[in-house]
Structure 1
Amino acid sequence: MAERPAEPRGPVHVDGEVVATKRVGGYRHLTLTAPGVPERFRAGSFVAVTVEGHVARRALWIHRVRASSAFGPTLDVVVDVRGSGTAWLAAQPVGTKVAVTGPLGRPFALPKEAVSCLLFGEGYAAAPLFPLAERLRERGCAVSLVVSAPDEAHLLSALEARRSVRSVTVLTADGSVGQRGTAADHLDDLVRRSRADVVYAAGPTGVLRSAASAAEQVGAWSQVAVEVPTPCGTGLCHGCPLPVVGEDGVDRVVRACAEGPVVRGDRVRWDAL
Structure 2
Amino acid sequence: MSDTPVQTSGTVLTVRQVQDYHAMTLVAPAIAEGFRPGQFVALAVGGEHSGRLVRRCFGVYEVKPDYGGTVEIVFADTEPGTAWLAGRRSRDKVDVLGPLGRPFRLPRDPVSCLLVGGGPGGSALFALADTLQRRGCQVHFLLGGRTGRQVFGSRMAQRIGDSATVTTEDGSVGETGTVPEVMPRVIAETGADVVYACGPTALLRPVTRVAGEYGLPSQVSVEEFLQRTGACGIGVCMTCVLPIHGEDGVTRMVRACADGPVLRGDRVRWGDLGTIPFDALGAPRVLGVPEGSGK
> Once the two structures are superposed, what CA deviation does each residue of 1:88-139 show, in whole Å capped at 9, x if it has no partner?
1011111111100001111110011111110100011111100111111111
Q: Which amino acid letter does the alignment assign opposite residue 256 of structure 1?
A: A
In structure 1, runs of 5+ residues without a counterpart are 1-6
Structure 1 residues 63-102: Cα deviation after superposition (integer angstroms, max 9, x where no partner): 0011233xx1101111211111111101111111110000
Runs of 4+ deviating beyond 3 Å: none
| Cα distance between partner residues in 1 of 2:169 and 2:56 | 28
Give unmatched runs, 5+ long, in structure 2.
274-295
- Shift of the alpha carbon at 1:35? 3.3
Whole-angstrom distance in 2 between the partners of 1:243 and 1:109: 20
1:141 to 131, 137, 142: 137
The 2-side partners of 1:213 and 1:190 are apart by 15
Task: State which drifts further: 154-163 or 75-84.
Answer: 154-163
Give the whole-Å Cα distance in 1 for the aligned partners of 2:71 and 2:102: 18
Please tell me whether the aligned partners of residues 116 and 197 of structure 2 are also in contact (alpha carbons under 8 angstroms).
yes
Counterpart Cα distance in 1 of 2:33 and 2:159: 23
Structure 1: how far apart are the matches of 2:32 and 2:116? 24
Aligned length: 265
The equivalent of 1:91 in structure 2 is: 87
Q: CA deviation at 1:164?
A: 2.6
Alignment of 1:61-80 (within 5 A): 61-69=59-67, 72-80=68-76
Q: TM-score, normalised by structure 1?
A: 0.93
Preserved CA contact (<8 Å) 2:117 2:197: yes
User: 1:60 corresponds to which residue?
Assistant: 58
| Partner of residue 228, structure 1 | 225
Map Cα deviations across residues 205-245 of structure 1 (whole Å, 9 max, x no partner): 12111111111111111000012035100112222102100
| 1:23 CA drift (Å) | 1.0
1:42-71, CA deviations, whole angstroms, 9 ceiling, x for partnerless residues? Answer: 1111100001131111001110011233xx
Q: CA deviation at 1:27?
A: 0.9
Mapped partners of 1:180, 1:243: distance in 2: 34
Q: Which amino acid aligns with 2:103?
A: P
**What's the CA shift string for 1:143-183, capped at 9, x where partnerless?**
11011111111221211223332001111111001001112
TM-score, normalised relative to structure 2: 0.87
The match for 1:25 is 19
Q: Give me the whole-angstrom Cα distance separating, in 2, the residues matched to 1:92 and 1:267.
A: 39
Could you say which structure has the higher strand fraction? 1
Q: Percent identity?
A: 45
The alignment status of 1:186 with 2:182, answered yes or no, reads yes
Deviates more, 1:250-259 or 1:140-149: 140-149
